[in-house]
Structure 1
């Protein structure tokens, strides 16, 4: 039993050392420059890009179907993306609601390679 416990401890220690060495190697290769945090949110540089606009229209259509409303997409004000097993988009969208302009925050999960898109959240801001 002591041999197994020692073996497990040695394995955990080796994994810890390997993780630290890998992290240091990644930092060295990046030249000390800060980049996006893996799994973190990154600002979308061009919220008017056709792909962003297409994704922004999706929550408006989905909300209209679910809530029986008639929101009309106007523009993307700003957005962020997060790479996961696909991409999460957090967008602030301008939409018209019966003549009144409102802002909404929508989070959309997108996996374009298998044509999957899901509205995660939608709220007026």
Structure 2
């Protein structure tokens, strides 16, 4: 049985810190569904008609569940625009809530 070497420092995510999601996460079906949820919730709350186009960037933060930070490309009429969304999820409780949805800076 091989022994683990302790020579190289291991990078551990900062607990509670916002981290970039692993590469390719913007193509993950569950992540895309959460981003679509964010757009749909925004549309309901703001009486808007934004259409989800694609997920541009994903970051997350471990809290009481997971806070997802998305940069989402939407279609507003014929124009493509970027928005930032924050979705709080507790998967074990089947809970998700849109915390924030605003135009990207």
Q: TM-score, normalised by structure 1?
A: 0.73
| Partner of residue 18, structure 1 | none
More strand by percentage: 2
| Partner of residue 104, structure 1 | 83
| Partner of residue 73, structure 1 | 52
Report the alpha carbon displacement of residue 34 of structure 1 after superposing the two structures with TM.
Answer: 2.0
5+ unaligned residues in a row in structure 1: which ranges? 1-28
RMSD, aligned CA: 1.5
Secondary structure in 1 matching 2:27: coil
Pairwise mapping of residues 1-125 of structure 1 onto structure 2 (< 5 A)?
32-44=9-21, 45-46=23-24, 47-125=26-104
Which entry has the higher C-alpha Rg, 1 or 2?
Answer: 1
CA distance in 1, matches of 2:10, 2:46: 46
5+ unaligned residues in a row in structure 2: which ranges? 1-5
**Divergent runs of 4+, >3 A:** none
Report the alpha carbon displacement of residue 79 of structure 1 after superposing the two structures with TM.
Answer: 1.0
More helix by percentage: 1
